Structure 1
Amino acid sequence: MKRLIKLFAILFFIPFFVEAQDLADALRYSNLQIQGTARSGGMGNAFGALGGDFTSVSINPAGIGLYRSGELSLTPTFGQTQVESNYLGSMRSDSKYNFAFNNISYVSTIQTQNRSETGIISVNVGIGFNRLKDFNSTMVVEGDNVNGSFMDYIADNANANDWSDYYEQLAWDTDILLYDENNNEYWHDLQDAGYGQNQRKSISRQGSIDEYSLALGLNFNHKLYFGASIGIMDIYYKESTELLERDLNNSVPYFNEMQFDSYLRTSGTGYNVKLGVIFKPTNEIRLGASIHTPTFYNLHDVFETSMYSSVTYDDGVTENYDALSPFSEYDYDLETPLKATLSAAFVIAKRGLISIDYEYVDYGSASLRRGGDGYNFVDENGEITEAYKSVGNVRVGGELKLNEAISLRAGYELYPSAYNSQAFGVSQPNADANLMVYSSGLGYRSGGFYIDLAYRYSVMDEFDLLYPAPQSDLYPAPQMAAFNTVKNNVLFTLGFKF
């Protein structure tokens, strides 16, 4: 178990060890969950064979070929993310609310005036954006640790001559990393006293991944639809962490408390191309297929850390120290995996429909490229291949028309964990960290006007660490924390057809 935790800390510790670009970045920006319109969101985003909704441009661009008229749509959303943590038997919970726009789009339909209803019936052009990922969340983890400290990681690195201006130097400058000249080693007061301090960590994340698309769709004979799109991706991600360790029981000589803060901001753009086809063998059946090229990102990271400590000396004087790391900036490229989707939809008695998408993604094929200093990421890309696997995402949705104006909807989405069950000779704790989304919706249509409303509930359980594990067996392995993340989203789409 100790070896498992240490390997997990080296390879998959995401919230804390963010100084370098690694496989965590590759997964963070490759693993997407479409937000889109309220109609699509209420039906589990299973729109690969349905089309007629701008969300389908991010799944199967052939869907734009099914538009029979022009359309303008707007989708604001209100969301709440709640994260519950369990660490050393202590439960904590925190929530974050946010308001955003999931979709703004415009579609124009050009009729060919082909009265024979054969050949190309119409050419459709669409432009707009869909939100593909929402990063907004806050979480708090807290517990009393009698067997370990973040300072173990700091001292272990210092003794291994792995000195960083972002970690070890700060601890040295704040007088909580000490040096024993007799034994020629670094140490800290918490280890010497047998630990027992309170640990509290808070993490705040903000940002999103948005896709701006230009799409073209062709309608052949009302039977066969082709589509292509160019997607421009926009990434903004910001993460602030605060780790506080306090000697609440006055059991550790000299040491009162320390606080380590880290800040990461990533921004960048990328591009991809999507191709798709939808075939209607009958009026009741629709079959779809699409392929997405990898997204080629150029990313820019900003990173810095700081540390505060309070120490009481033998003379009874308490000193407070502050230290700030250098300001780090780094440019690099990321290539996300190729995606392929197969879809089917079935119309039932002109009153209802059922739709399903199967999306294949090989997360192990993601790769970091062209660091700003010429670094080639060979080792990191090897870790990506070893740690991540291919998955099949499943989206299922249904719609029932109560009458010509009102429709009811429901959906389900399953996004399996990207982690291999075994990697580097050990089991991975998050191999079963699947994301599940349950959705429902309501639609109203009248002439050239429509309103859609949807509610989406997503849940995922996963494990993580408060701080990286020291590599030396002289220090105890850190304890894992369990997290339950629940997202509640309400989507509202207002649309006009013309």
Structure 2
Amino acid sequence: MKANSFLTIVFFLTTCLLNAQTLDDALRLTNESIEGNAQFVGTAGSMGAIGGNVSAIYSNPAGLAVFDKGLVEFSLAGYSYKSNSEYLEQQTNVRRLKNSIPNFGVVAKIYENEEKPISRVNLAFSINRTNTFDRKVIFNKDESPTSITEDMLDEYLFGSPSKNYSDLAWSTYIIDTNQFGDYVTPFDFFDENGVNIRQFGEEQTRKIIHDGYKRKISFSLGTEFYKKILLGISFNIDKLHFKSETIHTELGNSNTIYDFNKLEYIEEYEISGEGGSASIGILIKPIKGLSFGGAFHTPTFYNLYDKVDYTLNSSFNTPDANDNYEYSATETDEYSYYYISPAKLTANLGFIFKNIGFINIDYDKKFVNKTEYIDNNDSEYISEVNQLIGENYKSTSTIRVGGELRFGPIAIRGGYAISDNPYLNSGTSFSPYKTSVSTGIGVKGKHLYFDMSYLFNKYKVENSYYLYTTNNGTQYNDKVLSDISGTYSEKSSSLVFTLGYKF
């Protein structure tokens, strides 16, 4: 199943213009992944009804009241991302490795008295990563039948509300005038009759590199009543940092292209900021071995700052009158605005088998189509983007199933999660978008415990990626291409280690 290619084109075009407050970012900044301590990840993030886990407090804060001891824990993770792309019938595979600190937490038991209506009160402080933005995709063509300079020239001559590089191209001689007074690119050649004959064949590469994270710093309270009803609340400071670097490179071919040596167009885009949110949850334990409940997670209100740098570098084989071979030009834009990520509802169901293990099912409903941008100027552009969010996205569902088997001090874990496609055109019913499979093992002693887990994520869609447009079209294998694009698929995995001490 392919993601809507038209949407992808709109995303990229809009990003070229403003690189802030876009339809694409609305989804990217809303997304969450299964991250946290190793026990939580080992069950595919399915511990909401079980509780007694620092990272599971994020799913349902009522689970904080399950802890019968205080603890402190710390986690380390290794992250692997792999993409497989195809561009003009040429494939490229890329892998990226990264380390992170997905979790740190402290739990303190404040009060416990089984004979009182309030039988237990716990407090917790935790730092939990909720998404990793790391990604790397490369599109490559050894002898390209087209060039981004076509798009640069069209934008310079005719204008475009979604492009930003024509002035850079003029400053670096990617766009120039010839002896006939025509505006040309390094790929334009004219015969004796003044007829333009464009010659390509350069090596073309497009790299997209993403870095960053979403993180919650949480202060939580969990209370148990009559050992049957558990209530919890969390107040969160939400941190967000996203960085994107898009590098488009074209290397000249001396056999077909005179004088041109290299072109490098770079877009560096960074979003940073923080916000606040809260969540409240309840768990009910009517009989031994059964736990069920739910939680409400408020929208997160972010104050964000964007910075975008556009750079174009060029080099030629023949120097100009000042003996220059290389040229460079840069533009910078900055923005500040508010971003509201959507609310989420969570339902939890767990079955606990004393001294044997547990099985847990979690269900999330997130209202992605309610994501919203706000700026101080109430601009028409922001209103249009917010309208597009409602028209192109829908509320999404995520189902997580996980369990644990105990053999004395050793625990074996496994889990599975599946997420819904957020695009409205995928249908109103559940449409698989991403699946996750996990496994893990843990060992606990009287005070110390150690957990390890592995999580594998696979996306069910093949993504389309738009590079640029050629208004005159490009002839390639009996086809005329106007929108130059590629496709890619992606997979990711993580290995998590957690060390903790109970007191």
Return the TM-score normalized by structure 1.
0.89
The question of 1:413 aligning with 2:411 is answered: no
311-320 or 337-346: bigger deviation: 311-320
Structure-to-structure mapping, 1:435-454, within 5 angstroms: 435-454=434-453
Quote how far apart the aligned CAs of 1:141 are: 1.7
Structure 2 CA distance for partners of 1:273 and 1:7, relative to 1, 3 Å: closer
2:206 to 196, 201, 206: 201
What letter matches 1:445 in structure 2? K
Quote how far apart the aligned CAs of 1:203 are: 2.3
Structure 2 CA distance for partners of 1:74 and 1:378, relative to 1, 3 Å: same
What letter matches 2:95 in structure 1? S
Quote how far apart the aligned CAs of 1:29 are: 0.9
Quote how far apart the aligned CAs of 1:42 are: 0.2
Structure 2 CA distance for partners of 1:319 and 1:89, relative to 1, 3 Å: farther
Q: Deviations over 1:428-471 (max 9, x none)?
A: xxx9782221110001111122111111111225323252446x
Partners of 2:153 and 2:175 within 8 A in 1: yes
Q: How many residues align?
A: 483
In the alignment, the residues of structure 1 paired with residue 46 and residue 384 of structure 2 have an alpha-carbon distance, to the nearest angstrom, of 37
Partners of 1:13 and 1:464 within 8 A in 2: no
In the alignment, the residues of structure 2 paired with residue 60 and residue 135 of structure 1 have an alpha-carbon distance, to the nearest angstrom, of 24
What letter matches 2:77 in structure 1? T
Partners of 1:193 and 1:251 within 8 A in 2: no
The question of 1:309 aligning with 2:314 is answered: yes
Which residue number corresponds to residue 222 of structure 1? 227
Structure 2 CA distance for partners of 1:32 and 1:387, relative to 1, 3 Å: same
In the alignment, the residues of structure 1 paired with residue 148 and residue 369 of structure 2 have an alpha-carbon distance, to the nearest angstrom, of 31
Quote how far apart the aligned CAs of 1:253 are: 4.2
Structure-to-structure mapping, 1:207-356, within 5 angstroms: 207-248=212-253, 250-311=255-316, 320-348=325-353, 350-356=355-361
In the alignment, the residues of structure 2 paired with residue 391 and residue 473 of structure 1 have an alpha-carbon distance, to the nearest angstrom, of 40
In the alignment, the residues of structure 2 paired with residue 275 and residue 61 of structure 1 have an alpha-carbon distance, to the nearest angstrom, of 6
Which residue number corresponds to residue 385 of structure 1? 390
Partners of 1:44 and 1:439 within 8 A in 2: yes
What letter matches 2:90 in structure 1? S
1:396 to 376, 397, 401: 401
Q: Deviations over 1:237-295 (max 9, x none)?
A: 12222111223363234533311011111110011110111111221211120111110
What letter matches 1:333 in structure 2? Y
In the alignment, the residues of structure 2 paired with residue 487 and residue 422 of structure 1 have an alpha-carbon distance, to the nearest angstrom, of 23
The question of 1:70 aligning with 2:75 is answered: no
Partners of 1:166 and 1:326 within 8 A in 2: no
Which residue number corresponds to residue 478 of structure 2? none
In the alignment, the residues of structure 1 paired with residue 140 and residue 18 of structure 2 have an alpha-carbon distance, to the nearest angstrom, of 21
Partners of 2:75 and 2:496 within 8 A in 1: yes
Q: Deviations over 1:51-84 (max 9, x none)?
A: 1111122111111111111111111112222222
Long gaps (5+) in structure 1: 424-430
Structure 2 CA distance for partners of 1:222 and 1:9, relative to 1, 3 Å: same
The question of 1:175 aligning with 2:179 is answered: no
What letter matches 1:126 in structure 2? A
Which residue number corresponds to residue 192 of structure 2? none
362-371 or 248-257: bigger deviation: 248-257
Structure 2 CA distance for partners of 1:239 and 1:43, relative to 1, 3 Å: same
In the alignment, the residues of structure 1 paired with residue 230 and residue 84 of structure 2 have an alpha-carbon distance, to the nearest angstrom, of 46
In the alignment, the residues of structure 1 paired with residue 153 and residue 380 of structure 2 have an alpha-carbon distance, to the nearest angstrom, of 28
135-144 or 125-134: bigger deviation: 135-144
Quote how far apart the aligned CAs of 1:222 are: 1.5
Which residue number corresponds to residue 367 of structure 2? 362
Q: Deviations over 1:355-405 (max 9, x none)?
A: 1111011211101111579676101111111221211111111111122x0
What letter matches 2:156 in structure 1? A
289-298 or 238-247: bigger deviation: 238-247
Quote how far apart the aligned CAs of 1:496 are: 1.3
Long gaps (5+) in structure 2: 189-196, 475-480
Partners of 1:90 and 1:143 within 8 A in 2: yes
What letter matches 1:478 in structure 2? D
Structure-to-structure mapping, 1:72-87, within 5 angstroms: 72-87=72-87
Quote how far apart the aligned CAs of 1:352 are: 2.5
Partners of 1:214 and 1:230 within 8 A in 2: yes
In the alignment, the residues of structure 1 paired with residue 493 and residue 5 of structure 2 have an alpha-carbon distance, to the nearest angstrom, of 32
CA RMSD of aligned residues (A): 3.0
Structure 2 CA distance for partners of 1:433 and 1:49, relative to 1, 3 Å: closer
> SS of the residue aligned with 2:462?
strand
Return the TM-score normalized by structure 2.
0.88
In the alignment, the residues of structure 1 paired with residue 127 and residue 14 of structure 2 have an alpha-carbon distance, to the nearest angstrom, of 28
